[in-house]
Structure 1
Amino acid sequence: MGGTGTVFRAFLKLGLTAFGGPVAHLGYFRTEFVQRRGWLSEADYADLVALCQFLPGPASSQVGFAIGLWRAGWTGALAAWAGFTLPSALLLLAFALLRPVLDGPLADGVVHGLKLVAVAVVAQAVWGMAPSLAPDRQRAGIAVLAAAACLLLAGAGGQMLAIAGGGGLGLALCRTGNAPGAMQMRFNVSRTTGLLCLGGFALLLAGLPMLAALANNQALSLFDGFYRAGALVFGGGHVVLPLLDAETVARGWVDEAGFLAGYGAAQAVPGPLFTFAAYLGAIGQTPPNGAVGAAIALAAIFLPGMLLLVGVLPFWNGLRRRLWGQAALRGVNAAVVGILGAALYDPVFTSAVRGPLDLVLAVAGFVALVNWKLPPWAVVVALAGLGAILARAGL
């Protein structure tokens, strides 16, 4: 099948070069592992992508973890995750550590430019997700209700209500279509292992908040906040933004300007967007922060998605053939559009756009991404540079 070192080198190459977000990452994976290396068939890869899109968590990272598990066992799974994740995590940690020494009007201009990048990128995400995830009246209505829940009930509570409500409304309103066929791939994961992982996922999700409160320990609170964000992200990628905002900015761990600047910078690095957590863990105002905080946040945000993936693998063929599961997922995915739409307004737009010129730059960034098809890193460089120029000109 191939060794752990081969898996690590293959994913390290992707971790250094895979720009463009989770959808683009899945395209890179298909090119590398289906077409070039022949590790998986087209049908196996499509089944694996369907599984990971069904689950909460970072879909592209889950697909990579599963390919590593399929190819070289548990060490291969960890090697795949490390190779794909660490390059962008280290780059964002470096940005976090250097940010305090980058002071003055020019640095402020760059940071403001990065905040405008966030407006363009999140608007692009909403624009791209809405036609596929909320294509009919029922799901569009679920998206509107989810946005209302998030805007009227601030913090994690509104987002959890939106996700739960979306699933419930999906069960009632979205029972259409046929169940897909059985998955052909077979992983060496027993039902006992699967149940232990599912139990661990639930135990940590329910128990970490109580443990953190009883211990009054910031490291535990940090792990709890990022674990919860990773556990509730349906759709991966940019959907993590509002959840992380609720777990960091709303709790006073990170200021809004630093949060959005880091999110903008995250668009300029390859690999999974979830590595934004490393930046947030590093800039936290209360220890542990720095490299230790980055490591805690990074481990916590990826752990729930991987526990769920391994937990569901032995049971997936039975689950995916049940229409109720597909209906609930349709509702949750529609709610994701509303959650991200609410985040586009607050905090992204309200924190970044201070006047007409900012709006013009944000719209220009959006057009560059959607119509001109420029890569995100090019838009990052352009808007950060324009932010520095305008700051120097006093605008």
Structure 2
Amino acid sequence: MPSIHYRTIFLNFLKLGCLAFGGPAAHLVFFHQTFVKQLNWLDDQQYVQLVALAQILPGPTSSQVGLAIGYVKKGYWGAILAWLGFTLPSALLMTLVALLGKQFSPLLSSAFFHSIQLIVLAVVTWAFWQMLRSFCTKLWQYILMLCSTLFIYTVSLPMNQIIVIFIAALLGIFFAQKISPTEENKVENSSLTDAISSTKRSYAYLWLVLFILPFFIFPVMDWLHSSVFTQSVESFYRTASLVFGGGHIILPFLHQDFVATGLLSAEKFDLGYAFSQLMPGPLFSFASYIGALTPLTPFPVLNACIATLAIFTPSFLLIFGTLPYWSWLMNQTYIRHAVVGINAAVVGLLLCMVIQMAQHYIVQLTDLLFVAVVIGLLKTKLPVWLCLIGSCLGYQLILTFL
């Protein structure tokens, strides 16, 4: 196969970044159709291996698959250009939403914001239901999910979500011992590992060292001089480093760090999250919106760039540090089952947020009925943007005539 130009990588991912609506599951279908079926950059086995690796790593699955494709084809710069092409459209749009929101949010009625809150509640509830069906298949996973919900709901600690994830990982490892060895599939070889030079494999562990370092550096910086900048960047980095199971899971983490601390109002947070559902590309671009509204520096566009880089940096470090060791990682039972436990726990985090949002947002029977209608629309094959915009306008009309 002839060498692929950097420009070709960027343009193909930019096209997907403009057209790939529907969330991570839909993105992976787009990637397969484009890079396996149409361009033949990968074969089916290699693509499945990339998806499997991304699923055991924290962070945005589809974005990590995309930058891994760029990495396999053209090294580090290929990964950067693949990520930039896929992320740029949604990041720009979310930054624009934030800047326009500053200008026009005073003109929006309280009824409009209430409708947005109910739509966010419906989207999060639907995401919770989908993740519950995917990640909780055994009794211990349901129990872990409910215990995680109860702990987060009742215990108010700055690190409560990290505590839950750590304990869930240990429980996942413990219950892995209960699974019969016949259920474990060993990976014999990896064509991906063969495609990566031995030079990159020899120092890939350094990327993992860089991934871990910020967890020690940020607390020291915060102790020496606490500021909105360091706290916000640390929040974005930590969130992306700990979340498994899709973009919706960043919501409880970012809500705790930006809304509960007063850096961002709940109304603006919900408005941005609602708009992020209408965008193509990765849901993690929600960070661009939050960054533009957070006083990291005097320049909102620069703030959006900083937030976007902070939330995606862990993905680069993890892919660069783990892809050369793909076969070894996929044969580690403890790693895979720690992720199973973490996935069950983060479903519990999402359930806790559903409960808390429902307590604040449901004020009358029509609100509950509206949420049910939006969830029903999301279950159909209608485009998400049509479901959300149509339901919002419809509810505004209903409230006007009631």
**Is residue 189 of structure 2 the alignment partner of residue 218 of structure 1?**
no
Q: Take 2:100 and 2:10, find their aligned partners in 1: how far apart are those partners?
A: 29
Q: Which runs of 4+ in 1 moved over 6 A?
A: none
2:312 to 302, 318, 341: 302
> Quick check: 1:22–1:236 contact (8 Å CA) kept in 2?
yes
In structure 2, stretches of 5+ residues that fail to align are: none
TM-superposed CA distance for 1:273, in Å, is 0.3
TM-superposed CA distance for 1:355, in Å, is 1.9
> Quick check: 2:127–2:248 contact (8 Å CA) kept in 1?
yes
Q: Take 1:245 and 1:183, find their aligned partners in 2: how far apart are those partners?
A: 40
Q: Take 1:105 and 1:353, find their aligned partners in 2: how far apart are those partners?
A: 23
Q: Which residue of 1 aligns with 2:134?
A: 132
**Is residue 384 of structure 2 the alignment partner of residue 382 of structure 1?**
no
2:70 to 62, 65, 68: 68
TM-superposed CA distance for 1:133, in Å, is 0.8
1:362 to 360, 365, 371: 371
> Quick check: 1:57–1:232 contact (8 Å CA) kept in 2?
yes
Q: Take 2:218 and 2:401, find their aligned partners in 1: how far apart are those partners?
A: 47
Q: Take 2:69 and 2:53, find their aligned partners in 1: how far apart are those partners?
A: 12
Q: Which residue of 1 aligns with 2:275?
A: 265
Q: Take 1:289 and 1:164, find their aligned partners in 2: how far apart are those partners?
A: 36
Amino acid at match of 1:363: A
Amino acid at match of 1:283: L
**Is residue 10 of structure 2 the alignment partner of residue 3 of structure 1?**
no
**Is residue 326 of structure 2 the alignment partner of residue 326 of structure 1?**
no
1:280-328 deviations in whole A, cap 9, x for unaligned?
Answer: 1111266456212211111101111221121112223112112222221
Amino acid at match of 1:198: L
> Quick check: 1:97–1:282 contact (8 Å CA) kept in 2?
yes
Q: Take 2:65 and 2:38, find their aligned partners in 1: how far apart are those partners?
A: 17
Q: Which residue of 1 aligns with 2:217?
A: 207
TM-superposed CA distance for 1:24, in Å, is 1.1
Amino acid at match of 1:247: D
TM-superposed CA distance for 1:382, in Å, is 1.5
TM-superposed CA distance for 1:228, in Å, is 1.0
Q: Which residue of 2 aligns with 1:185?
A: 192
In structure 1, stretches of 5+ residues that fail to align are: none
Change (3 A) 1:352 1:382: farther
**Is residue 244 of structure 2 the alignment partner of residue 244 of structure 1?**
no
Q: Which residue of 1 aligns with 2:89?
A: 87
Q: Take 2:359 and 2:98, find their aligned partners in 1: how far apart are those partners?
A: 23
TM-superposed CA distance for 1:205, in Å, is 1.9
Q: Take 1:323 and 1:309, find their aligned partners in 2: how far apart are those partners?
A: 19
TM-superposed CA distance for 1:38, in Å, is 1.0
Q: Secondary structure at the match of 2:216?
A: helix
Change (3 A) 1:288 1:98: same
The more displaced of 220-229 and 282-291 is 282-291
TM-superposed CA distance for 1:389, in Å, is 3.2
Amino acid at match of 1:328: A
Change (3 A) 1:286 1:211: closer
The more displaced of 281-290 and 74-83 is 281-290
TM-superposed CA distance for 1:213, in Å, is 3.5
Q: Take 1:390 and 1:103, find their aligned partners in 2: how far apart are those partners?
A: 22
Change (3 A) 1:324 1:154: same
Q: Take 2:170 and 2:397, find their aligned partners in 1: how far apart are those partners?
A: 49
Q: Which residue of 1 aligns with 2:266?
A: 256
The more displaced of 201-210 and 111-120 is 111-120
2:124 to 122, 127, 131: 122
1:121-154 deviations in whole A, cap 9, x for unaligned?
Answer: 1111111111221111011111111112221224
> Quick check: 1:218–1:287 contact (8 Å CA) kept in 2?
no
> Quick check: 2:176–2:333 contact (8 Å CA) kept in 1?
no
Amino acid at match of 1:178: E
Q: Secondary structure at the match of 1:102?
A: helix
1:265-285 deviations in whole A, cap 9, x for unaligned?
Answer: 100110100000010111126
Q: Take 2:401 and 2:106, find their aligned partners in 1: how far apart are those partners?
A: 12
Q: Take 2:71 and 2:370, find their aligned partners in 1: how far apart are those partners?
A: 44
Q: Secondary structure at the match of 2:159?
A: helix
Q: Take 1:71 and 1:160, find their aligned partners in 2: how far apart are those partners?
A: 35
Q: Take 1:267 and 1:351, find their aligned partners in 2: how far apart are those partners?
A: 21
Change (3 A) 1:362 1:155: farther
Change (3 A) 1:16 1:108: farther
Q: Take 1:283 and 1:158, find their aligned partners in 2: how far apart are those partners?
A: 26
Change (3 A) 1:70 1:232: same
TM-superposed CA distance for 1:54, in Å, is 0.2
Q: Take 1:156 and 1:42, find their aligned partners in 2: how far apart are those partners?
A: 43
